[in-house]
Amino acid sequence: MEQVVKSYPTSTRPALDSVDVDIEKGEFVFLVGSSGSGKSTFLRLVLKEETPTSGRVHVAGKDLSSLSSWKVPALRRSIGCVFQDFRLLPNKTVFENVAFALEVIGKAQGTIAKVVPEVLDLVGLDGKAQRMPDELSGGEQQRVAVARAFVNRPMILLADEPTGNLDPQTSIGIMKLLDRINRTGTTVVMATHDSAIVDSMRRRVVELSQGKVVRDQSRGVYGYGA
């Protein structure tokens, strides 16, 4: 990200102001800051759900401002997404939820039958493939969401407060999972305000406040004075 400014027309203050962040391939980055500090806007810019008011966003070597809209789907295939509210399809089983992400990008049935059990195994949900989402605990649902985000082996995994709805114990499980995914070479960018997690992981921390980067340290912790 170079000098990115994003203004919403209804707001007097830009959501992101001259943000200049460089994230390397394979990094694990925490995006911290209070609500309204611009974390979610940051992630939406990477997905090209929003376009910056000025400045440029580069993802995987591509300049998103010059990326034509019909290439956006290809960009998003290289990015996986996890949200606080899971966003699972309640009328589909765990298997179908994960398979859906592959079906809609036109993957062959054979590939789906092979890859989905693998990824369910990876997130620790083997044996629960035929359950419906509302039969699972919050942590398990988030694992399904991670599986869906990761099943296409994206280069980047964006997580917007993935532990926001989970208790600390479950959150640690999810973090271990994200860490394992990071070790496969996937870049993980995680927005959070769960200080305990940030402190325990000791990874790079980018802190946003009122749309500005106020801190960027590797192996950082959540609060000041570390």
Partner 1 sequence: MRAQFVTSEILIGLRRNLTMTIAVIITTSVSLALVGSAMLMRSQVGLMKSYWYDKIEVSVFLCNHIVQSPNCKGVDVTPAQMEQISADLNNNPAVQKVYFESKEQAWKNFVIQFKNSPGIVKNTNPDALPESYRVKLKDPSKFAVVASAVQDEPGVEQVTDIRKTLDPFFKFLNGLRNGIFVIAIVMFIACALLIFNTIRVAAFSRRRETGIMRLVGASNLYIRLPFLLEGALAGSVGAAFACGFLVLAKVSFVDGVLAPSLTFTPFIGWPEVVGTFPWLFLFGILLSTASSFLAIQRHLRV
Establish if 108 lies at the interface with partner 1 (CB under 8 A): yes
Q: Which two tokens stand for residue 151?
A: 């099943």
Establish if 89 lies at the interface with partner 1 (CB under 8 A): yes
Establish if 76 lies at the interface with partner 1 (CB under 8 A): yes
Residue from 10, 12, 66, 69 touching partner 1 (CB under 8 A): that is 69
For residues 85 and 167, which CB has a smaller minimum distance to partner 1 in the complex? 85
Residue from 106, 127, 134, 169 touching partner 1 (CB under 8 A): that is 106
Residue from 15, 81, 122, 188 touching partner 1 (CB under 8 A): that is 81
Give the CA angle between residues 17, 21, 27 to the nearest 5°: 145
Establish if 70 lies at the interface with partner 1 (CB under 8 A): yes
Establish if 43 lies at the interface with partner 1 (CB under 8 A): no
For residues 133 and 211, which CB has a smaller minimum distance to partner 1 in the complex? 133
- Find the binding residues for partner 1 in span 124-153 (CB under 8 A): 148, 152
Long-range contacts of 106-111 (CB under 8 A, 24+ apart): none
Contact 211, 53 (CB under 8 A): no
| Distance from chain centroid for Cα 197 | 16
For residues 82 and 206, which CB has a smaller minimum distance to partner 1 in the complex? 82
> Locate tokens 């179908």: which residue?
96
Site for partner 1, rule CB under 8 A: 47-48, 69-70, 72-81, 87, 89, 100-101, 103-109, 112, 148, 152
